[in-house]
Amino acid sequence: MTTLAWDGYINARDLGGFPTALSRSGVTAAGRIARGPRRERLTAAGWDDARAWGLASVIDLRCEHEVGPGEGDHVISDAALDGVTIVNAPTEDQNDPEFWETCAPILDSPEYWAHNWRLQPHLVLSALEAIAGSTPGTLVHCSAGRDRTGMISALLLGNAGVDPAAVAADYATSVHAMAAVEQLVPGAEPEEIRSPAEVDEWMRDKLPIVHDTATRTHEVFDLLGVSIATRSALRRLLIAEQPTQ
């Protein structure tokens, strides 16, 4: 994994460089898909950094009410977004009473992922289809870049044949990155600052869920109704070359 140093941005990484037997190079391709937190964190210089990386598309996994600048965010000119296609593709409907009752207590954990697939598979499917149809390089983000983005990243990497241990390590990197951030979203209640040891202890029973997601991605895709064409398109985004037969 490669950390992306975009000004004002944290917890941002390129999904290239992960080990996979599906690529002749042995790793996923860089410059195709990046993951990160809410794009409103980017400064004007950060948008320039993103463009230098090759930013062409943004897939925003947040609910509509979460989108937009808040107090303390940087003022960005409309010109900063010229040529960048932004698609809002929320993975969840928080107004759904069953979803909220089931998932609200565990939204900061991969424990809710399977409930999301069960209760709102059409939304997760739509997000994956939006990524498959995007122009690389694509930034996939939610608010913290940890949970919704972590779920989608695990499925993308699992579909690309990435070692599940590496996928779990990527999720752990995001949890550690955001554990030291007091306020993830402007106007929200401050988060508890946790030490690295506390984070590792919290993740003890969470990382196996991420590992399992990457291991059985194709089963999850079956549940979601992901077409063969979409699976192939997502794989091509992360695989530079298919191995010769």
Query: Of all helices (H) and strands (E), which one includes residue 2?
Result: strand 2-3
pLDDT per residue over 114-159, tens digit each? 999 999 999 999 999 999 999 999 999 999 999 999 999 999 999 9
pLDDT per residue over 208-221, tens digit each? 999 999 999 999 99
Residues 6+ apart with CB under 8 A from 34: 4, 12, 13, 14, 15, 53, 55, 137, 138, 139, 140
Q: Which regions of the chain are under pLDDT 70?
A: 182-191, 241-245
Distance of alpha carbon 123 from alpha carbon 145, whole angstroms: 18
Give residue 245's pLDDT. 34
Q: Phi, psi (5° rounding) for residue 62?
A: -80, 160
Amino acid type, 114: A
Q: For residue 138, how far is the Cα from the chain centroid? A: 11
Give residue 95's pLDDT. 95
Give residue 189's pLDDT. 63
Domains and CATH numbers, the chain: 2-238 (3.90.190.10)
Give residue 226's pLDDT. 98
Give residue 82's pLDDT. 86
Mean residue pLDDT across the chain: 92
Give residue 185's pLDDT. 67
Quote the pTM value: 0.92
